[in-house]
Amino acid sequence: MTDREPAFRELARRYEAKTGIKVNFELYAPSDAYSQKVRAAAQGANLPDIFGILVKKRDFASFIKAGYVLDLTPYMDENGSLWRNKFFAKALAVDEFGEGNSYGVKTGIYGVPIDIVTIQMLYNKDLLKQLGYQRPPQTFAEFLDMGKKIKVAKLQGLVSGWVENWLIDCFANNFAFNIMGKDKVLATIRGEVPYTDPDWVKVLTLFKEMRDSGILAEAVVTMINKTAEQLFANEKAVFAFNGSWCVNVYKSMNPGLDYAAMLPPKASDKFPMTVWGGAGSSFMVNATSKNKDTAIRFLQWLTDTEQQAYLAEATNNLPANKESLPKIPEVLAGFSKAIDSSTHPNIWDVSEFPVVIESLDRGIQAIILGEKTPVEVAAEVQKIKERELARKDNRPR
Amino acid sequence: MKIRSALENYGFILPALSIFAVFYIIPFFFVLRLSFFDWDGIGRLSSATFVGLGNFKEILLQDPNWWQAMRNAGWITFIALTFQNILAFMLAVACDREIRMKNFYRLIFFIPPILSEIVVGMVWRFIINDVDGANIINRFLAQAGLAQFIHNWLADPKTALTTVAIVHSWKGFGWGFLIFLAGLQTIPREFYEAARVDGANAWQTFRKITVPLLMPVIILVAILTILGTMQAFVLILGLVGGELAGHTSVPVLRILDVMRDSSRFGYSCALGINLGVILVIISFIQYAFSNRARALTQDYEHIPSE
């Protein structure tokens, strides 16, 4: 987010020149440090007029239920839903709580998407050609086959910040959707399908196969995403798994890098490959702020076509305003194609227990490290899932 | 007059006491209170669910990750108590003697402790790692004809924790060195001269004079090492980046992860209390040891220096 500071500062300058209202942007990184800052500000009753919430939907719901976030639905629906219609539906969905949602939040839109993110695989065009491949892998088997050649060439295969659980979670979910489909994934989250189901074991086995084939970069489970970005930008790795924000990052690290985005190679023909995507950053209006109306007017201006096009151009991020999309660079267009194949946990009507996600991610790390088998990990995750379901049933309502 | 004097004295300690109360005592009671709740750290505390001792029960009976983190911290502490403190002690003994450039060594040995932990972690990661680093250790091993020992030190669960422990020891030995050196300089030189006159050799002098007289300092360093190491986590973030499937997980990192990833603030407060209780128990054991050590050295204290 901090890489966008100059662009936001410029927009604030333009807004002040236009309206006389001074807007002060404060950007923080990394995202988890920022999340803690926002929580602390909420507890200290000093949230800014506009803020972002970079957490899971469950926590977003807690912010709303605690009365910190303004319901923007009336503003979105003014003048024949003029504001609402500017956004990609998938971008808005992340900030939306539908009717009868499992979080107990009143139906409404509680955030304004600023940009869109899709998280996909990337490949280095030059390195693939050097290895003798004319196109990126279409199937998982093809992808695994590349492992040996990559090792012989003393390159790294797939790099990603897999020391961070959420990126592993994201990668595993892509294949879960591909192997068993959305309904079965959501049924698992609801507790109707166990993690010991053969389809889940198959998802976990993919990680074992990647480890065995050598397609994964060395030490990928201790890799932070910044390191993964450096390796890919410096042409030491053939593939990366990263979000569309990387376009700006790679540009700053190696402007000449020749790469493209791709969907992860399919492991099954049963269901389409689905990647995570939707609103990248969203802004929420502080429900307790005295400047609510001013804040909303600023956000309406910020998400207008001209400002969105400027942000997309200056920061190489996909705009949330669909009218600004034609003006984006080619690589970014590759990411934008995946919007239709995207989903996100924040738009599902159920969410997995954080401890279950943690045990799944740690289990996958253990598979990559060669310590546990997919069957063992599946059994461990299911055990924790059952414990959490029992705890939920026993919790006072 | 007595009351006035007492009030004056209390006035002097009031600023320190206030700071201590505001930043330690009040937060402690706040954390203790939170540990009895199921709270996500977002909603108002009045909406949190009271779970009594439920969080503590979960820690004791259902949280193997926490106890794995404790074991890991125990291993790092063991390495620090042995390797780090023995190194610090030996270097302090060496610098206590009349050697050339001893002031230079004192300065050099104290550089690692004053460096930021995250910087030390990242620098060592660069030194050790072969993928995103300079791979210096492995290159050195190859040059030295020890290619069979080339290894992915930080990514292999078998070596990651010990590598962390060794870097932690490198970072921390300077404190022990400084305290040991200060302790050694308080031992009256006459004892050594008398021992020499009586024909004691260097080993006997070390065993019968240096070690017993330094025992309270040794225990102090040991306790500071335990308390400091059990709470270490920043270095691990810099070196490994995280928990490495639990292999480099330590208590504070665990508390942070539970709070950050699972939004279980009440439970992480309970983890903090659990760690605090363990450290208090260790401190009490230290107190008992200190008393014994003091008794052991009493004979020496009664020896007239003239």
- DSSP letters for A225-238: HHHHHHHHHTT-EE
Q: What element of type H or E holds A141?
A: helix A140-152
What is the per-residue pLDDT for B260?
83
- Reported confidence tier of residue B97, pLDDT bands at 50, 70, 90: confident
Its pTM stands at 0.82
**Domain extent for B192:** 60-301
Residue B306 has pLDDT above 50, yes or no: no
A28 Cβ contact partners less than 8 Å away, ≥ 6 residues apart: A1, A2, A34, A37
User: Is B176 a domain residue?
Assistant: yes
- What secondary structure letter does DSSP report for A28? -
CATH number of the domain that residue B68 is part of: 1.10.3720.10
The length of chain B in residues reads 306
Show the DSSP H helices in B186-210 as ranges: 189-197, 202-205
Average pLDDT, chain B: 88
Q: How confident is the model at residue B53 (pLDDT cuts 50, 70, 90)?
A: very high
Residue type, A381: V
**Yes or no, beta carbons of A371 and B41 under 8 Å apart:** no
Q: Among residues of chain A, what percentage have pLDDT more than 90? A: 62
Helices (H), A214-326: 225-233, 246-253, 292-302, 305-315
Give the pLDDT confidence score for residue B78 in this predicted structure: 95
Least CB–CB distance from A362: residue in B240, B246, B264 = B246
Q: Which of B49, B129, B245 sits opposite A362 (nearest CB)?
A: B245
The verdict on residue B268 lying in a domain is: yes
**Chain B residues within an 8 Å CB radius of A221:** 155, 244-245
Question: Rounded to the nearest 5°, which phi and psi values hold at B129?
Answer: -70, 140
Q: What is the pLDDT of residues B12-46, one digit of tens each?
A: 999 999 999 999 999 999 999 999 999 988 888 88
Across the interface, of B49, B62, B241, the residue whose CB is closest to A387 is B62
pLDDT given at position A349 = 79
Whether B154 sits inside 8 A of A227 (CB atoms) is no
**A-proximal residues of B, 220-259, CB under 8 Å:** 240-247, 257
What are the residues whose beta carbons fall under 8 Å from the beta carbon of B273, sequence distance 6 or more?
A: B31, B32, B35, B56
Minimal-distance CA residue of chain B relative to A229: B132
Backbone angles phi, psi at B60, to 5 degrees: -70, -35
Query: Per the omega criterion (within 30 degrees of 0), is the bond before B212 cis?
Result: no
Cα–Cα distances in angstroms (integers) from residue B305 to residues A214, A224, B188, B224, in the given order: 71, 60, 8, 31
B152 touching chain A per CB within 8 A: yes
For residue B257, list chain A residues with Cβ-Cβ distance below 8 A. Answer: 358
In this structure, which topology does domain A2-114+280-347 adopt according to CATH?
A: D-Maltodextrin-Binding Protein; domain 2 (3.40.190)
One DSSP character per residue, B240-263 reads: TSS-TTTTT--HHHHHHHHHHHS-
| Chain position carrying tokens 């009040």 | B26
| CA separation for the pair B22, A264 (Å, rounded) | 52
Residue B46 lies in a domain: no
Q: Does an H or E element contain A71, and which? A: none
**B4 occurs within a structural domain:** no
φ and ψ at residue A216, rounded to 5 degrees: -80, 145
Specify the range with the lowest mean pLDDT, choosing from A233-242, B80-89, B291-300. Answer: B291-300
**What local confidence, expressed as pLDDT, does residue B1 receive?**
67
- ipTM for this model: 0.78
Of B47, B49, B263, the CB nearest to A395: B49
Most A CBs within 10 Å, among B42, B156, B243, B267, to test the A interface: B42
- Chain A interface mutation, best of B46, B57, B254, B261, highest count of A Cβ atoms under 10 Å: B261
Q: Is residue B43 part of a domain?
A: no
Report which DSSP code applies to A87: B
Give every residue of chain A whose pLDDT is below 70, as ranges: 1-2, 279, 326-327, 394-397
What pLDDT score does B164 carry? 95
Q: Is B130 close to A218, i.e. CB distance below 8 A?
A: yes
User: Residues B11, B15, B20, B22: is their CA dihedral positive or negative?
Assistant: positive
Number of Cβ within a 10 Å radius of residue A80: 8
Beta strands A156-159 and A237-243 are parallel
Count how many domains chain B has.
1
Please report which confidence band the pLDDT of residue B300 belongs to, taking 50, 70 and 90 as the band edges: low
Q: Residue A300: its pLDDT value, please?
A: 96
pLDDT tens digits, residue range B220-238? 899 899 999 999 999 999 8
Task: Decide if B34 is inside a domain.
Answer: no
Q: Indicate the CATH number for domain A119-274+353-394.
A: 3.40.190.10
Q: What's the confidence (pLDDT) of residue B151?
A: 83
pLDDT single digits (tens) B111-163: 999 999 999 999 998 888 766 667 788 888 888 888 888 888 888 888 999 99
Residue A214: the pLDDT is 92
Residue B173's closest CA among B113, B106, B239?
A: B113
Q: Is a pLDDT exceeding 60 seen at residue B305?
A: no
The tokens for A375 are 């069957």
B/e letters for B200-218, b = 16+ CB within 10 Å, e = fewer, are beeeebeeebbebbbbbbb
Nearest C-alpha in B relative to A230: B132
B188 CB within 8 Å of a chain A CB:
no
Where do the CATH 3.40.190.10 domains begin and end in chain A?
A: 2-114+280-347, 119-274+353-394
